[in-house]
Chain A
Amino acid sequence: MNKVYFFVGTILLASFLQGCEKRESVTLLYEGNKIVVNTLIQPDSVIYTRITRSVPSNVLIDGNNTDISGANVQLLEDGVPLASPAMQTIKGTAYYVSGSKAVLGKRYEVRVAVPGMQAVTAMDTLPGVPLASAAAAQVNSNRIRFTLKDCPTANNYYRIRIYVSNPDGNDGSFWQFRLDPAFNNNLVDFFTQGASNSLIMSDERFNGKEVNFVLQTNNPIAATTQITLEVSALTYNTYQYLNTLTTQLRSGEAVISQPVRVFTNVANGYGIVGGINTKKLVFKAE
C-alpha cells in the first residue's frame, strides 16, 4: 500500500511540475525604425555592405523583410569618399559592393542616409594578417592542430572557424568544434560539452607567445577531406560585436538573467562596420 502511495505521489508530483506557458497580450516597447549597417571589411577584398532597418521585437525577421530600398550609401577611405558602391543581389540578398578593394592601413567609414530615417555613420580600421600556420589533422581523428604566433605589442583578437569542402568542390557549412577541453578551462563549456562553429577570443592568456591550438571537432575527419581552417584577426570593434553577438545567440530567448547587449559602433543606428583579416589554411588530413 505504501509503495502504491509513493508511486502515485511521485507521478502526481512529476506531472504537476511540468511547466506551462502562456503568451502575454502586451505591447512591447519599440525604439522606432533605425538604419542597420553591417559590413566586415577584409583587406584586398571589395567591401560588401548590407543595409536593413530595425523592426519591433514582436516581428519575426524572416528572409529579407527588413531590407531598405533607396538608401544613399557612401564609403570613405581615410576620410576621402570612394566611388558610390553598386547594389548587387548575391545569393538572394542585396548588398552595396564597393568598386575598389580595401587596403590594409587605411581607415574606412560608411555613411548611410535613408529618407524619413535618421542618417547613420560608422568607421573602423583593418587588422594585420594573423600569423597562423602548420594546420594539420590526422585521418579519422577529430582533432585539428595549428600554430598561432601572437604579436606582443598590442591587444589582439581572433576568430577561428572550420569548414570542409564538399566532394563537388563547393564549400560546406561551418563545422561544430570546441577547444580541446583540456585546453579550454571554460567550466560551462566543459560540463555542457558545448561546441560551436566559431571560437572568438582575445590574446589575454597567450599574449606575445606562439601557441599550439588543438581543436576538437564534432565529426571525424575523413581521408580525402579538404579542410579549411579560417583564422581571422579582428579589430576591437569587430571582436566586441562578434563576441556579444555569439553570447546573445547562445543565451537563447529566455528572459531570466540580464540580457546581453550586442555591441554596435553605428552612430544613430545599429550594426557593425568592422575590420577583419582572415587567413585561410587549407589542408588535407594526413
Chain B
Amino acid sequence: MSLAGKLLAGILILLYVPLNVFGWDWQTRVTVIVRNQPIEAVCNILEKEYGIHFSYSRELVNLSRKVTLTAQHQRLKKLLEDLFAPDDIRFTRVGEQVVLVPAQRTTRTISGYIKDAVSGESLIGATVYAPALKQGTTTNQYGFFSLTTVKDTNSLFISYIGYGPHLQQVTAKGDLWLNISLQPTGSLKEVVVSARENKLQEQTQMSKVKLSTTELEAMPRFLGEVDVMRTLQLLPGVGGGMDGAGGLYVRGGGPDQNLVLLDGAPIFNFSHFFGVYSLMDANVVKSTDLYKGAFPARYGGRLSSVVDIATKEGNMKAIHGNASIGLIAAKFDIEGPIVKDKTSFLISARRSYPDLLLNAAIQSDNSLGPNGDFKAFFYDINAKVNHIFSRKDRVFLSFYKGEDNLGLQQTTNDTAAISGLHTYKGVTSRFKMSWGNTIAALRWNHIYGPRLFSNITLNYSSYTFATQYGHRYIMPVLGETTDLFGKYSSRMENSGGRVDFDYRPHPRHAIRFGAITTMHYFKPGNSSFENKGTPVQPLDTLNTSLRVVGGELSLYAEDDWQLNPNLYANLGIHASAFLVEGRFYSSVQPRLGLRYVLPRNWAVKAAYTHMNQYIHLLSSNGTTLPTDIWVPSTQRVAPMFSKQVALGVAKTSSNLKYEFSLEGYFKSMHNMIENAENNNITNTGATRWDENVIVGKGWSYGSELMLQKKKGSTTGWIGYTLSWSMRRFPGINYGEIFPFKYDRRHDIEVVLMQQLGEHWEFSASWHYNSGTPITVPVSSYVGTGNASPWDPGTGQPVIDRYDNWNNYRGADVHRLDVGITYSKQKKHWRKSWNLSIFNIYNRKNPVFYYMESDPVTKQRYLTRVTLLPILPSITYAVKF
C-alpha cells in the first residue's frame, strides 16, 4: 500500500470510530415497540439497536414502571421526553451516553381566595384547575385554595356553579398569591342541587350533597317559606317525620344522631314550630353540606349525619337586602360593607305573625276575659360581622337567636256564670311555653404560608325549654281559693373551641388536622310546684339541682392522597375522649375513603367510617319535641357508636350537564336507647333516666340512586332509595328484631325546575315513600279492676292486646308540590311573587292512626288521620 493509501485508510479508520460512536443525535428516528415492559427494557432496546447507552444510578432513578409503547420512526428526543416525563426523570447527553438523573424537585405553590365579584363573598368549593398539568384543587370552607405543583403552569381555570368560569394567566415563576373574583351568571337558577361543584369522579368524598341558597330558593314552598330541612328531605337517603315534620332521619338513623353545625357551632334543636320549619331563614344560608356517610375525620360526635351550614359573610361592596312576606312569616335581611372591602355586616330577622291577627280578634270579642292574651309564634335573628385585617388574617363574629313561644292567659270575672256555689270555678289561668337556641361563634382565619391555612373557632350554643302554668280558682260557698303554680325547664349548653389546619404540601396530598374541645353543660328537667292555697309542705320534690358538666376533646387528621394517576385515598382518624362525673370514655375512629377512576371517567368509591356519640336525647315517644332533653352517657348507658361501610359509582358527564351516582351502604348502631315499655319519661326525675331506658342496637342498609340534570332551562333530579332499618332491644318486643319507626322500604323523589322565559320559573317536586310501621292490636278482651262484683264501679274495661312492635305498615305517602315564581327587575330592586301549592292533588297522607269504635255497627276501625291536605300559599318578596 502506498503512503497515500495508508493515510487514507488511517483517516477512514479514525473517522469510522466516531461515526459509529456518535451515530445518533436527538433527531435520530427510532422504532421501539414494547408491551407492558419496564422502562429499562426500552433503554436496552435503544442501546442494542441504536447504540444509545444510558447511564444512571439505580438508587436515584427508578426505571421499573411498566409501559406499553408503539413508536414508529419517532424522533429520539420526543420519545425520551414522553418516556421519562411521568417519572420526573431528566436526561442529558454526555459524550456518547445519555445520563439519567431525577428532576430537580422545585415546586411552586399558588394560593389565594376565590370570591364573588359582586358581593365579595368567598366561594366554598370552587374548582381551581391547571389544564396543562391536569392538576387541580377546590377552595375550602373559607374560600381559600392552595395548589402546589412540581411543574410550571401558565394558566389556571377557575369555575364555580352559578358563576362564569375564569381563565387566569400565570406568568410569574415561583410561589404566587391570587385573589380571584368570579362573576355570577345572570340567572342563578340553572342548577338546582349539586352533589359536587366539580365532577363526581374527581372527588374521593362520597355520600355528600351540597345545597346553595340559589338552589333552595327554586324549590316549591311550604306555606310560603323556603326551607333548608325540607329541601334536604328531598334527597336520597334522607327522610322526615310524618308530613316532613319532626327532624331528619338519615340512612335509618334517629333524629338525635345528626350533627347540625351553624358556622361551626352545634345546634341542639334544628326546627321551629314542632319540627315543621328549619330554625333559620334560608336567605342567609350560603351553603349547606350534608354528609350521610364517609364522614371526614374533622367531624365527630353524632352517628348518622353531618349538616354543615355556612351563613353568608355580608356584602363587601354595597348594601343589599331582601324582604318578604308569606302566609306564615315575614322576614328581612340586609347586608353591606362597614368599610368597603374590609368589613361587612349581615343582619336578618323573621317572625311568624298569624297569632297577632288571632290575638286581635280575641281581644275584640273579649273571649279570654279582661287582660286575656294569646301568643303562638316563632322568631329568629342572625347577625354577622366579618373583618379582613390583612391578606393573612380575617375574623368572623356571628350570632343567632331563635325561639318559639306559646302563651295563653285567661281571666273570668263574670260571677253570673257561676252555676253552683258548691262548684269550683276558675278565676285565672295562665300558660306559657318557650324554647329556642342561642348560638355564637368567633372565627379567625390565618394563613401561615401559601401551603398552610388555619381556622380557630370559639363557639357557644345553648338550647332552653321552659314552661310554666298557673291556675287560680275558687269555691264560692267557702270563699276558698286555690292558687297553683308550677314551672319546668331544661337547658343544654355547649361551649368550646376548635383549631383546624389545612396543609397542602404536595400536589398529591391535601392534609387537614386539628383539635376540638367542647364543654357540655347539662341541666335537664328542673321543676317546682307550689300550691299557694295550702300550708302543707310537699311530700317530696324532684331533684331541682341536677347539673352535670362534661368535657370532650377530639383530635383528628386526614390526608386526601393521590396514590397513582387512577387511585386516590382519603385516610383519616378521629380520636376523642369524654370525661363526665368521674367517668372517662374514649374512642379511636378510623375514617377511610377510596376512589378508583375507571376508563370513560367512571369512579368507583368506597368508604368505611366509625362515629361516636357521647350524649343521648331523651324523647317521650320517639319523635323530636321541644320537651326532649339531652343527657350524657352514664355508667349504665355507654356512648353510642356506629360503623358504616359504603360502596358506589359516580360520574359527571364531560359537559357537566348530568350527574349520576349509585351507592350502597350498611350501618350498625350500638348503645342506642329506647324507652322501656310502659314508661313515660316525664313521670320520673331526670336523675334516674337511665333506669327507665333500654340499651340496644340497630342496623340499616340500602342503596341510593341519584340522576341529576344540572344545566339548561330544565333542571332537576330523580332520587330513589331502597332501604331497611331495624332495631333490637332486650326486653322490648320480646327481645326480637323489629323495624324502626321510620323504616321506609322505597323512597322516590322527583324534582323539576323549568325556566319559562325571562320572568317566570316553574318548579315541582313529587315525593313518594312506602308506608311506615305502626303497632296495631292483635286482639281485645275485657279486664277487671275489682275484687268483688259488689264493689262500686262495675264497668269492665276493654283491653287491647299488643304483640310485636311495628307489626303493620301504614298507607303509602305521596304528594306533589308545585310553585311558580314571577320576578321582574326594576331600576334599583327586583320584585317577585311566588305561588306554591303543597299537596296539589290533595292526597290524604297519614299523620297518625287510631282505633275508632262504632257502637251502631259494633265494629272498630283503624282510622287514618290527615292533617295537611292541599295548601296554597303566596309570597311577595323584594330584593335590592
Residue A182 CB within 8 A of the other chain: yes
Give the distance to chain A from B627, nearest Cβ to Cβ, in Å. 9
Give the distance to chain A from B302, nearest Cβ to Cβ, in Å. 24
User: Bound state CA distance, A54 and B855, in angstroms?
Assistant: 19
User: Bound state CA distance, A23 and B354, in angstroms?
Assistant: 32
Which residues of A sit under 8 angstroms from B431, Cβ to Cβ?
191
Which residues of B sit under 8 angstroms from A31, Cβ to Cβ?
778-779, 801, 803
Which stretch from B26-34, B399-407, B436-444, B843-851 is at the chain A interface? B843-851
Contact with A along B849-865 (1 / 0, CB 8 A): 11111110111111111
The residue on A at minimum CB distance from B776 is A28
Which residues of B in the span 771-801 have a Cβ within 8 Å of any Cβ on A? 774-794, 796-801
Which residues of A in the span 186-219 have a Cβ within 8 Å of any Cβ on B? 186-188, 190-191, 193, 197-198, 205-206, 211-214, 218
User: Bound state CA distance, A61 and B798, in angstroms?
Assistant: 7
Give the distance to chain B from A248, nearest Cβ to Cβ, in Å. 7
Contact present for B860 and A24 (CB under 8 Å): no
Residue A254 CB within 8 A of the other chain: yes
| Selected contact of B779 from candidates A30, A184, A242, A257, CB within 8 Å | A30
Contact with A along B548-582 (1 / 0, CB 8 A): 00000000000000000000000000000000000
Known: A90-B790, A276-B787. Contact between A258 and B848, CB under 8 A? no
| Selected contact of A62 from candidates B779, B847, B858, CB within 8 Å | B858
Contact present for A24 and B783 (CB under 8 Å): no
| Selected contact of A19 from candidates B422, B539, B865, CB within 8 Å | B865
Contact present for A141 and B869 (CB under 8 Å): no
Contact present for A59 and B848 (CB under 8 Å): no
Which residues of A in the span 1-56 have a Cβ within 8 Å of any Cβ on B? 6-7, 9-10, 12-13, 16-17, 19-24, 26, 28-32, 34, 36, 38-42, 45, 48, 50, 52-56
Which residues of B sit under 8 angstroms from A39, Cβ to Cβ?
784
Contact present for B784 and A40 (CB under 8 Å): yes
Which residues of B sit under 8 angstroms from A174, Cβ to Cβ?
792-793
Residue B484 CB within 8 A of the other chain: yes
Which residues of A sit under 8 angstroms from B852, Cβ to Cβ?
21, 23, 253
Which residues of B sit under 8 angstroms from A255, Cβ to Cβ?
774-776, 848-851, 862
Contact present for A54 and B781 (CB under 8 Å): yes
Contact present for B780 and A57 (CB under 8 Å): yes
Contact present for B859 and A53 (CB under 8 Å): no
Known: A60-B859, A142-B475, A258-B675. Contact between A272 and B787, CB under 8 A? no
Which residues of A sit under 8 angstroms from B783, Cβ to Cβ?
38, 241, 245, 262, 271-272
Residue B866 CB within 8 A of the other chain: yes
User: Bound state CA distance, A31 and B777, in angstroms?
Assistant: 9
User: Bound state CA distance, A247 and B679, in angstroms?
Assistant: 9
Residue B680 CB within 8 A of the other chain: yes
Known: A36-B781, A185-B529. Contact between A258 and B622, CB under 8 A? yes
| Selected contact of A261 from candidates B677, B680, B847, B862, CB within 8 Å | B677
Residue B170 CB within 8 A of the other chain: no
Give the distance to chain B from A199, nearest Cβ to Cβ, in Å. 13
Known: A10-B358, A182-B536. Contact between A23 and B867, CB under 8 A? no
Which residues of B in the span 831-852 have a Cβ within 8 Å of any Cβ on A? 844, 847-852
Contact present for A253 and B850 (CB under 8 Å): yes
Known: A187-B683, A255-B851. Contact between A95 and B789, CB under 8 A? yes
Which residues of B in the span 373-432 have a Cβ within 8 Å of any Cβ on A? 422-424, 431
Which residues of B in the span 118-168 have a Cβ within 8 Å of any Cβ on A? none
Known: A220-B423, A258-B622. Contact between A23 and B802, CB under 8 A? no
| Selected contact of A34 from candidates B680, B779, B848, CB within 8 Å | B779
Residue A77 CB within 8 A of the other chain: no
Contact present for B863 and A57 (CB under 8 Å): no
Known: A29-B778, A180-B531, A261-B802. Contact between A253 and B851, CB under 8 A? yes
Residue B18 CB within 8 A of the other chain: no
Contact present for B781 and A141 (CB under 8 Å): no
The residue on A at minimum CB distance from B536 is A214
Contact present for A6 and B357 (CB under 8 Å): yes
Known: A59-B859, A256-B621. Contact between A183 and B539, CB under 8 A? yes
Which residues of A sit under 8 angstroms from B486, Cβ to Cβ?
181, 190-191
Contact present for A23 and B862 (CB under 8 Å): yes
Residue B327 CB within 8 A of the other chain: yes
Contact with A along B91-118 (1 / 0, CB 8 A): 0000000000000000000000000000
Contact present for B621 and A257 (CB under 8 Å): yes
Contact present for A13 and B354 (CB under 8 Å): yes
User: Bound state CA distance, A223 and B847, in angstroms?
Assistant: 50
User: Bound state CA distance, A165 and B327, in angstroms?
Assistant: 57
Which residues of B sit under 8 angstroms from A45, Cβ to Cβ?
787-788
User: Bound state CA distance, A188 and B538, in angstroms?
Assistant: 17
Which residues of B in the span 662-696 have a Cβ within 8 Å of any Cβ on A? 675, 677-678, 680, 682-683
Give the distance to chain A from B612, nearest Cβ to Cβ, in Å. 27
Residue B22 CB within 8 A of the other chain: no
A contact residues, range: 35 or more
Contact present for A62 and B855 (CB under 8 Å): yes
Residue A171 CB within 8 A of the other chain: yes
The residue on B at minimum CB distance from A275 is B787
Give the distance to chain A from B76, nearest Cβ to Cβ, in Å. 80
User: Bound state CA distance, A197 and B785, in angstroms?
Assistant: 11
Residue A69 CB within 8 A of the other chain: no
Residue B3 CB within 8 A of the other chain: no
User: Bound state CA distance, A29 and B808, in angstroms?
Assistant: 9
Residue A140 CB within 8 A of the other chain: yes
User: Bound state CA distance, A118 and B138, in angstroms?
Assistant: 71
Contact present for A61 and B866 (CB under 8 Å): no
Contact present for A13 and B850 (CB under 8 Å): no
Residue B811 CB within 8 A of the other chain: yes
Contact present for A57 and B779 (CB under 8 Å): yes
Contact present for B775 and A258 (CB under 8 Å): yes
Give the distance to chain A from B67, nearest Cβ to Cβ, in Å. 65
Residue A169 CB within 8 A of the other chain: no
Residue B231 CB within 8 A of the other chain: no
Residue B19 CB within 8 A of the other chain: no
Give the distance to chain B from A242, nearest Cβ to Cβ, in Å. 7
| Selected contact of B784 from candidates A12, A38, A182, A254, CB within 8 Å | A38
Contact present for A58 and B422 (CB under 8 Å): no
Contact present for B478 and A140 (CB under 8 Å): yes
Give the distance to chain A from B806, nearest Cβ to Cβ, in Å. 8
Residue B54 CB within 8 A of the other chain: no
Residue A244 CB within 8 A of the other chain: yes
Known: A61-B798, A255-B851, A258-B677. Contact between A185 and B327, CB under 8 A? no
The residue on A at minimum CB distance from B851 is A253
User: Bound state CA distance, A28 and B355, in angstroms?
Assistant: 42
The residue on B at minimum CB distance from A276 is B787
8 contacts between A and B (CB under 8 A): A36-B782, A50-B796, A57-B851, A59-B860, A91-B794, A187-B527, A259-B802, A261-B677
> Which B residues are closer than 8 A to A by beta carbons?
223, 327-328, 353-354, 357-358, 422-424, 431, 467, 469, 471, 475, 477-478, 480, 484, 486, 488, 527, 529-531, 534, 536, 538-542, 620-622, 675, 677-678, 680, 682-683, 774-794, 796-803, 805, 807-808, 811, 844, 847-855, 857-872
Besides A16-B868, A38-B784, A185-B538, 6 other A-B contacts (C-beta < 8 A): A60-B859, A66-B782, A254-B848, A262-B783, A271-B783, A276-B787
